[in-house]
Amino acid sequence: NAGVTQTPKFRILKIGQSMTLQCAQDMNHNYMYWYRQDPGMGLKLIYYSVGAGITDKGEVPNGYNVSRSTTEDFPLRLELAAPSQTSVYFCASSSSGNTIYFGEGSWLTVV
Amino acid sequence: ILNVEQSPQSLHVQEGDSTNFTCSFPSSNFYALHWYRWETAKSPEALFVMTLNGDEKKKGRISATLNTKEGYSYLYIKGSQPEDSATYLCAFIDGTGNQFYFGTGTSLTVIP
Mean predicted lDDT score pLDDT of chain A: 93
Residue B98 has pLDDT above 90, yes or no: no
- Say whether residue A27 is in contact with chain B using an 8 A CB cutoff: no
Residue B27 has pLDDT above 70, yes or no: yes
- Say whether residue A96 is in contact with chain B using an 8 A CB cutoff: yes
Nearest to B44 among A50, A59, A102 (CB): A102
Query: Facing residues of B49 across strands?
Result: B34
- Among residues of chain A, what percentage have pLDDT more than 70? 97
| Residue A95 confidence class, pLDDT cut points 50, 70, 90 | confident
pLDDT tens digits for range B33-91: 999 999 988 888 999 999 999 999 999 999 999 999 999 999 999 999 999 999 999 99
The predicted model gives A100-107 an average pLDDT of 93
What pLDDT score does A27 carry? 94
Q: What angle do CA A61, A94, B51 make, to 5 degrees?
A: 110
- Whole-number Cα distances in Å, A13 to A23, A79, B6: 19, 11, 33
What pLDDT score does B1 carry? 61
Residue B107 has pLDDT above 70, yes or no: yes
Choose the mutation target among B9, B43, B88, B106 for the interface with A, i.e. most A CBs under 10 Å.
B43
Residue B3 has pLDDT above 90, yes or no: no
CA distance B84 to B62: 10
Residue B94 has pLDDT above 90, yes or no: no
Q: Which residue has the higher pLDDT, B97 or B71?
A: B71
What pLDDT score does B2 carry? 74
The predicted model gives B12-40 an average pLDDT of 94
| Residue A99 confidence class, pLDDT cut points 50, 70, 90 | confident
CB contact under 8 A, A97 and B97: yes
Residue A1 has pLDDT above 70, yes or no: no
The predicted model gives A18-22 an average pLDDT of 97
Nearest C-alpha in B relative to A89? B43
